[in-house]
């Protein structure tokens, strides 16, 4: 009956036609297969290096099949908030989660801005509650939030009155730098007042951060005395309460710093997310939860409505576990020098996944269905939970808090839409219990329910865990885009992030929650599972590409070859050319520049052969139980006071002593030496004619040197723009060893 009344869906999926891309992708695949078959059938040239090249190229072919599969059927979602508003009389509650972990690497003013942008969302304020998890246990962060809540009382009405788009104040004031609305003196007056208040607010926080005015640890702040970042009891503070359930008031704002003890592993962000889930379960128990990192801000104030169009859709929304919004960045450095803006990955791969079982969970900008996080299966939404579990079993699974089990039962039964209490502070005591570090002991948290533990890329297995139960996911890409954030500002921080992802993802690949297991034993569809490999194989790509990068240098030194001679050489050359032309085309048609394309091409080589390579080995150490991996937090730049964003050296390559740079520099030096040897004619003599090194190897080596050009400059630069001397020495040693063993034929590949 109800179905007929609601005949128009809240959202539609439109499949994109990208025929030219399909043709080009297939053409490249054919060339790869040609190259492989040439290797198998070519007479008389079988050597061990050929065999290695064959293995690597087989891997590249597999990777290409994965990419081609992901890109094959892209889709976009069109949402209709007007239909939602017409037909859903009472909008559902949404709990908003923000995580922050370190007041130094993540300046509190950033998190405060994230929170302000969330408080000002265009959604009934009594349906929202904002929870901030602070793993840094920092009185500074708490102070910034308290101040933010005071400022919000003026800021939020201002945003709503003038329907501003940018509601994170630092974003707004860096875009709208003067009050110059000619027809509204009222606006100008309000603008000036707000600007003044915001400047005061940020100055206060800055003063405390710089310790110009010390923070008194009294009153509300007493709990922070005698705490250490890794050793302190739970702190739960309700900063703001919307007690009277007013829809144009302010959402609840709650600060949580979960208990930490030195002998308890806290599972990084995944642990924080689980605490947020439980505390919010007690206090508001919204059926949907939005998760944003502290370096992200709302860019489209209507985003909750858009996401609800998907999750609340009567037909196709029912089996959607989460809605993922793209990760995009403000003040991105021009032409993406570090390849960390991921524009094409979103456009092609993630839109492609959206046409399958849905995008992967990217860790931030995501709306979750609470019951899916709690382990429900999609068909149980309609038919009720299979075999209702008794309270005893639920306590085993969800932990010993009766209040929490109660709320979880409601959430699982879909009764969580209306809480019976508007005062979160009534639950502080229970909240302290569920945020304790021993609470999860023996439960299913982190294993089967909530955010999963064990990988420092917690997002991917968490999403997979839901999809393997048969849930789908969707992308939500309204205009303007939903959220924007800050991308790592330098090469070092980019590499740290890349290494962490590669390592975390490799652990996922070999673990219980790999896409392969999900395909075999769960409900992950074949093509969806295959598309996940695009992500989970990042680390694995490292060793293959490093090996493939070493081969041409080896060939040049030993005067041998891995590439065909004569007319067959056109196969690899055609591959190189068509791949590059095609990817250039992909950049140009979405409005990116040639420079941006080239920056991404070379970053792709650099990060795979260094950050992902190291990430792969750190995952191996973890998997073999030798060393654990740590979540290294990406450093965030605070809003610059000049309002202009980028500083002078934005985009310049910086280096440090990380092993990532040792690998990169070694590759550079090996190829420089190989070129030197070739140009001075110092290669070994080749007795069998036809086997000597040729054009193919020379082109490869030149291409690598072009990609590694920023490192070459780094060899001669000083300070943070130069590669540290110790790194150069280590790399030179490795490079010499490689060449020495090659030249003396120690590897004996023939």
Ligand X SMILES: O=c1ccn([C@@H]2O[C@H](COP(=O)(O)OP(=O)(O)O[C@H]3O[C@H](CO)[C@@H](O)[C@H](O)[C@H]3O)[C@@H](O)[C@H]2O)c(=O)[nH]1
Tell me which residues touch Mn ion (CB under 5 A).
293, 295
272, interface contact from ligand X, Mn ion, none, CB < 5-8 Å by kind? ligand X
Map residues 445-474 to x or -, x wherever contact with ligand X holds by CB under 6 A.
Answer: -----------xxxx---------------
In angstroms, what is the minimal distance from the CB of 347 to ligand X? 18
Strands in 320-324's sheet, in edge-to-edge order, are 235-240, 252-257, 128-134, 94-100, 288-293, 366-369, 320-324, 472-475
The two counts, helices (H) then strands (E), for the chain are: 29, 13
Looking at beta carbons only, is 368 or 500 nearer to ligand X?
500
Residue nearest to Mn ion (CB): 295
Beta carbons within 8 Å of 172's beta carbon, 6+ residues apart: 164, 166
Please select the residue that binds ligand X; options are 309, 633, 663, 667, rule is CB under 6 A. 633
Looking at beta carbons only, is 223 or 505 nearer to Mn ion?
505
In angstroms, what is the minimal distance from the CB of 150 to ligand X? 23
H helices present in 512-641, as ranges: 515-521, 526-536, 538-558, 570-589, 594-607, 613-623
List the beta bridge partners of residue 747.
none
Segment lying near ligand X (by CB under 6 A), choices 115-123, 439-447, 493-501, 709-717: 493-501
CA–CA distances in Å: residue 436 to residues 141, 326, 430, 515, 621: 20, 33, 10, 32, 30
In angstroms, what is the minimal distance from the CB of 114 to ligand X? 9
In angstroms, what is the minimal distance from the CB of 141 to ligand X? 10
Show the tokens assigned to 217. Answer: 């640890």
Residues 76-115 that bind ligand X (CB under 6 A): 99-101, 106
DSSP string, 79-92: E-HHHHHHH-SSPP
Distance separating alpha carbons of residues 575 and 30, to the nearest angstrom: 9
Segment lying near ligand X (by CB under 6 A), choices 72-80, 268-276, 539-547, 714-722: 268-276
Distance separating alpha carbons of residues 499 and 413, to the nearest angstrom: 41
Beta carbons within 8 Å of 513's beta carbon, 6+ residues apart: 452, 461, 464, 465, 468
Cβ–Cβ < 8 Å for 738, 35 = no
Strands in 296-298's sheet, in edge-to-edge order, are 296-298, 483-485, 328-329
For the chain, what's the residue count?
A: 750
DSSP string, 397-432: HH-S-HHHHHHHHHHHTT-TTS-S-S-GGGGHHHHH
101, interface contact from ligand X, Mn ion, none, CB < 5-8 Å by kind? ligand X
536 binds ligand X per the rule CB under 6 A: no
Segment lying near ligand X (by CB under 6 A), choices 345-353, 392-400, 432-440, 495-503: 495-503
CA-based angle 349:37:584, to the nearest 5?
A: 35
571 binds ligand X per the rule CB under 6 A: no
Please select the residue that binds ligand X; options are 352, 478, 504, 564, rule is CB under 6 A. 504
* 459 classed as catalytic: yes
Looking at beta carbons only, is 451 or 738 nearer to ligand X?
451
Show the tokens assigned to 314. Answer: 């009567």
Looking at beta carbons only, is 407 or 457 nearer to ligand X?
457
259 binds ligand X per the rule CB under 6 A: no
Please identify which residue in the block is written with the tokens 């010499």.
Answer: 736
Residues 111-150 that bind ligand X (CB under 6 A): 133, 135
Segment lying near ligand X (by CB under 6 A), choices 335-343, 496-504, 518-526, 658-666: 496-504
Residue 81 has, within 13 A of its CA and on its CB side, a CA count of: 14
Please identify which residue in the block is written with the tokens 């990817």.
Answer: 583
202, interface contact from ligand X, Mn ion, none, CB < 5-8 Å by kind? none
List the beta bridge partners of residue 485.
296, 329
Residues 284-313 that bind ligand X (CB under 6 A): 293-295
Q: How many residues make contact with ligand X (CB under 6 A)?
A: 25
User: 106 among the known binding-site residues?
Assistant: yes
Which is the catalytic residue, given 25, 135, 190, 336? 135
User: 302 among the known binding-site residues?
Assistant: no
Looking at beta carbons only, is 21 or 536 nearer to ligand X?
536
Beta carbons within 8 Å of 421's beta carbon, 6+ residues apart: 427
Specify the DSSP class assigned to residue 642. Answer: T
Number of Cβ within 10 Å of residue 575's Cβ equals: 19
Long-range contacts of 412-416 (CB under 8 A, 24+ apart): 412/371, 412/374, 412/376, 412/380, 412/385, 413/384, 413/385, 414/287, 414/371, 414/381, 416/93, 416/285, 416/286, 416/287, 416/370
Looking at beta carbons only, is 133 or 467 nearer to ligand X?
133
In angstroms, what is the minimal distance from the CB of 458 to ligand X? 6
Looking at beta carbons only, is 494 or 559 nearer to Mn ion?
494
106, interface contact from Mn ion, ligand X, none, CB < 5-8 Å by kind? ligand X
CA torsion angle 189 190 191 192 (round to 10): 50
Cβ–Cβ < 8 Å for 117, 238 = no
Beta carbons within 8 Å of 542's beta carbon, 6+ residues apart: 502, 608, 609, 612, 613, 614, 615, 616
697, interface contact from Mn ion, ligand X, none, CB < 5-8 Å by kind? none
User: 474 among the known binding-site residues?
Assistant: no
Please select the residue that binds ligand X; options are 272, 408, 508, 530, rule is CB under 6 A. 272
618 binds ligand X per the rule CB under 6 A: no
User: 17 among the known binding-site residues?
Assistant: no
Looking at beta carbons only, is 50 or 360 nearer to ligand X?
360
504, interface contact from Mn ion, ligand X, none, CB < 5-8 Å by kind? ligand X
Please select the residue that binds ligand X; options are 50, 131, 612, 631, rule is CB under 6 A. 631
In angstroms, what is the minimal distance from the CB of 474 to ligand X? 18
In angstroms, what is the minimal distance from the CB of 260 to ligand X? 10
Please select the residue that binds ligand X; options are 364, 560, 561, 610, rule is CB under 6 A. 364
501 binds ligand X per the rule CB under 6 A: yes
Distance separating alpha carbons of residues 74 and 352, to the nearest angstrom: 4
Looking at beta carbons only, is 327 or 473 nearer to Mn ion?
327
Which residues of this protein are in contact with ligand X, per CB under 6 A? 99-101, 106, 133, 135, 268-269, 272, 293-295, 363-364, 456-459, 497, 500-501, 504, 631, 633-634
Q: Residues within the annotated binding site for Mn(2+)?
A: 269, 293
Active site amino acids: 135, 459
Q: Residues within the annotated binding site for UDP-alpha-D-glucose?
A: 106, 135
């Amino acid at each position: 009956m109800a179905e007929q009344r609601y005949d128009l869906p809240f959202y539609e999926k439109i499949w994109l036609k990208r025929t030219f891309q399909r043709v080009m992708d297939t053409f490249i695949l054919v060339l790869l297969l040609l190259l492989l078959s040439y290797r198998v059938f070519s007479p008389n040239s079988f050597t061990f290096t050929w065999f290695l090249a064959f293995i690597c190229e087989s891997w590249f072919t597999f990777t290409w099949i994965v990419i081609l599969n992901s890109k094959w059927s892209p889709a976009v979602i069109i949402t209709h908030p007007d239909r939602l508003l017409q037909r859903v009389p009472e909008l559902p509650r949404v709990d908003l989660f923000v995580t922050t972990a370190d007041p130094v690497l993540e300046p509190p003013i950033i998190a405060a801005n994230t929170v302000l942008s969330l408080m000002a969302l265009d959604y009934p304020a009594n349906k929202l509650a904002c929870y901030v998890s602070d793993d840094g246990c920092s009185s500074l962060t708490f102070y910034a939030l308290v101040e933010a809540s005071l400022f919000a009382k003026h800021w939020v009405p201002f945003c709503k009155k003038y329907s501003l788009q940018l509601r994170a104040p630092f974003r707004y004031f860096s875009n709208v730098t003067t009050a110059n609305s000619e027809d509204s003196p009222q606006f100008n007056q309000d603008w000036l007042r707000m600007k003044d208040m915001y400047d005061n607010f940020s100055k206060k926080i800055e003063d405390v951060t710089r310790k110009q005015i010390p923070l008194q640890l009294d009153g509300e702040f007493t709990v922070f005395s005698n705490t250490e970042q890794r050793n302190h009891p739970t702190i739960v503070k309700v900063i703001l309460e919307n007690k009277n359930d007013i829809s144009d008031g302010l959402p609840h704002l709650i600060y949580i710093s979960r208990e930490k003890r030195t002998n308890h592993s806290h599972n990084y962000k995944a642990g924080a997310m689980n605490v947020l889930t439980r505390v919010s379960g007690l206090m508001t128990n919204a059926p949907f939860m939005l998760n944003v990192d502290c370096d992200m801000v709302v860019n489209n104030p209507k985003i909750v409505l858009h996401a609800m169009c998907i999750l609340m859709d009567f037909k196709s929304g029912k089996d959607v576990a989460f809605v993922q919004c793209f990760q995009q960045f403000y003040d991105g450095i021009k032409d993406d020098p570090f390849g960390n803006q991921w524009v094409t990955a979103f456009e092609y791969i993630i839109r492609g996944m959206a046409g399958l079982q849905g995008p992967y969970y990217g860790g931030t900008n995501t709306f979750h269905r609470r019951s899916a996080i709690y382990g429900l299966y999609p068909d149980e939404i309609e038919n009720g939970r299979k075999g209702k579990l008794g309270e005893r079993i639920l306590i085993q699974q969800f932990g010993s808090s009766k209040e929490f089990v109660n709320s979880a039962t409601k959430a699982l039964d879909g009764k969580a839409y209306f809480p019976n209490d508007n005062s979160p502070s009534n639950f502080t005591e229970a909240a302290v219990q569920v945020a304790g570090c021993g609470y999860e002991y023996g439960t299913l948290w982190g294993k089967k329910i909530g955010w999963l533990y064990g990988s420092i890329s917690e997002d991917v297995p968490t999403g997979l865990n839901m999809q393997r139960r048969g849930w789908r996911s969707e992308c939500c890409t309204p205009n303007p885009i939903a959220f924007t954030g800050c991308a790592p500002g330098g090469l070092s921080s980019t590499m740290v992030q890349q290494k962490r992802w590669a390592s975390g993802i490799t652990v996922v690949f070999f673990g219980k929650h790999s896409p392969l297991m999900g395909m075999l034993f769960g409900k992950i569809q074949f093509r969806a599972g295959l598309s996940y490999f695009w992500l989970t194989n990042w680390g694995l790509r490292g060793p293959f590409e490093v090996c493939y990068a070493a081969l041409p240098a080896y060939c040049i030194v030993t005067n041998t070859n891995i590439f065909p001679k004569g007319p067959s050489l056109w196969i690899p050359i055609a591959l190189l050319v068509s791949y590059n032309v095609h990817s250039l085309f992909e950049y140009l048609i979405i409005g990116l520049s040639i420079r941006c394309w080239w920056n991404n091409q070379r970053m792709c080589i650099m990060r795979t052969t260094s950050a992902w390579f190291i990430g792969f080995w750190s995952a191996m150490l973890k998997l073999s139980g030798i060393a654990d991996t740590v979540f290294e937090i990406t450093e965030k730049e605070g809003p610059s006071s000049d309002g202009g964003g980028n500083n002078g050296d934005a985009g310049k390559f910086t280096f440090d002593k990380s092993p990532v740079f040792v690998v990169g520099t070694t590759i550079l030096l090996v190829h420089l030496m190989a070129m030197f040897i070739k140009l001075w004619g110092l290669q070994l003599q080749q007795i069998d004619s036809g086997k000597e090194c040729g054009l193919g190897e020379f082109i490869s080596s030149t291409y690598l040197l072009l990609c590694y050009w920023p490192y070459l400059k780094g060899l001669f630069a000083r300070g943070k723009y130069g590669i540290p001397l110790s790194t150069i020495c280590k790399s030179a040693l490795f490079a010499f060893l490689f060449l020495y063993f090659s030249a003396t034929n120690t590897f004996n590949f023939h």
